[in-house]
Amino acid sequence: MGTHHATSRAMQAKDVSALIAPLYADLVTGSPWIGFLEALAAFLPCRHPTIVARVPNAHDPGLLVSSEPNPEGSRPYQQSLFDQTPFRDLPPGEIHTLRTMMSEAVLAALPYYRDYLEPAGVTDILAVDLADARSGMTLRLRASRSAGSAPFAEHERHVVRLLLPHLQAALEIHGRLLGQQSLLALYDRSAERLGIGAALLTEARQLVFANVVLRDMQAHGCPLLIRGSRVIGARPQDDAPLQAALDRLIRFPAAGQEGVHLLLGAADGGAAWSVLAEPVIDPIPADPDARPAVMLLVRAPGHFRPATAEHLVRQFGLTPAEAELALQLAQGRTLDEASASGGISRNTARNQLAAIFSKTGVNRQTDLVRLILEAGVNLWPVPIGAQEAPRPEH
């Protein structure tokens, strides 16, 4: 007998792999848990396997994921009967069934049984709860048996027990993914509120992402045009510096590679737009054909006033010579190019850059470029009757 049970459990452990594959595969689709629940329904077998991803309450119907959606049947459960279920507040990881928790007589006396289970033909329920402390998410797995089927047996509970480590891991992964998606959505909303267009390009210059702001800009004179899977300059005089910047950033993607700031004319010949191209040094692991290599940030003229040397002198306390060097660097020139353009030695330029870093509080050229761009963005005209903020002391 013991040998038979050992062999049976070994087979269960082997067969449960058919449930693990869809469990993890579902996490990267738009319908997490569905494939797993469908596989579980056929494997046990059981009816209406469901995951309660968010507990219902008086103000929230909760979130129930089922392989067999039944809005009419689940509505009363979500509205009032969840509070009556005997499976409230189960210790995490403990597997319970209705028939092992209470006798037939006790069960028959429950309003939950009379009002919900019996009319639905449910004779037994298997339940287990899990929680992820980091994300605060919970997973409540429920499966039922109907009249004519045997109650859940120990070997079936054992199958679910084998699944628990995978369910816990899937819950934690799901929580991380949702957190990252929420953060990305927040970044996208922030960029939208600030009027910043954004795009990600691969090493092959293929477009893998463009936010709604950049797409909206297409109809308003943006000098960068989305053409299929490419981003090009609207005019030859815009496309040439754009492609040169992309070539430079893609060919030399070393850590610390500086971004390139471009001022491009509008497609209709209007005021200049600000475009910042930066290398993506640590891209998110992805399909090599979709791995981002360059990020483009775009501001329309109405949202951008380029900083001048006078602004930088007033805002950061730079000397005129330091301010001119900072502007040269912000426009994408290297230190050698900026020193040659300004008619100074490289050693003098290095000393001025060190002074700029000290006065602005940054220590990398990329951070300096961002700071100067933000200085330009924030230099709006002083409202009538208002006084300009005093220059900070350094």
Query: Among 29-43, 207-221, 241-255, 271-285, whose mean pLDDT is lowest?
Result: 271-285
Q: Over the chain, what is the mean pLDDT? A: 81
Of 71-80, 219-228, 343-352, the least confident:
71-80
pLDDT band for 390, please (50, 70, 90 cuts).
Answer: very low
Task: Give residue 124's pLDDT.
Answer: 95
Question: Quick one: 212 and 108 in the same domain?
Answer: no
Closest CA to 223 of 211, 206, 239: 239
* CATH number of domain containing 170: 3.30.450.80
Name residues whose C-beta falls within 8 Å of residue 278's C-beta, 6 or more positions apart in sequence.
249, 259, 260, 294, 295, 297, 366
Q: Does 215 have pLDDT greater than 70?
A: yes
- Contact between residue 177 and residue 184 where contact means Cβ atoms under 8 Å apart: no
Q: Which amino acid is at 345?
A: S
CA distance 49 to 99: 17
Q: Is residue 383 part of a domain?
A: no
Q: Is residue 334 part of a domain?
A: yes
Q: Work out the average pLDDT over 221-237.
A: 94
Find the domain containing 33 and state its range.
2-182
Residue 24 lies in a domain: yes
- At 14-62, the pLDDT tens digits run 578 889 999 999 998 878 899 999 999 999 999 989 998 876 665 666 6
- 53 and 18: one domain? yes
Tell me if 382 is assigned to some domain. no
Query: Are 178 and 326 members of one domain?
Result: no
Higher-confidence residue of 122 and 257: namely 122
Residues 10 and 144 in one domain: yes
Q: Has residue 384 been placed in a domain?
A: no
In a domain, residue 391? The reply is no
Question: ∠ at Cα 297 (334, 177), nearest 5°?
Answer: 120
Check whether 375 has a pLDDT greater than 80. Answer: no
Q: Establish if 258 belongs to a structural domain.
A: yes
Cβ neighbours of 11 (radius 10 Å): 11
- So what's the pLDDT on residue 386? 35
For the chain, how many structural domains are there in total?
2
Contact 113, 73 (CB under 8 A): no
Residues 114 and 24 in one domain: yes
Residues 344 and 208 in one domain: yes
Q: Are residues 168 and 196 in the same domain?
A: no
Looking at the structure, do residues 207 and 278 belong to the same domain, yes or no?
yes
Weakest-pLDDT range from 51-60, 293-302, 335-344, 384-393:
384-393
Residue 19: closest CA among 218, 194, 180, 162? 162
Q: Does the structure show a pLDDT above 90 at 191? A: no
Between residues 118 and 258, the one the model is more confident about:
118
- Give the pLDDT score at 366: 78
Q: DSSP per residue over 161-204, as a string?
A: HHHHHHHHHHHHHHHHHHHHHHHHHHHHHHHHHHTEEEEEE-TT
140 and 195 together in one domain: no
pLDDT in the model for residue 393: 43
Same domain, 111 and 259: no
Which amino acid appears at position 63 of this protein? L
Are the beta carbons of 261 and 332 closer than 8 angstroms? yes
**End of a domain among 165, 182, 199?**
182
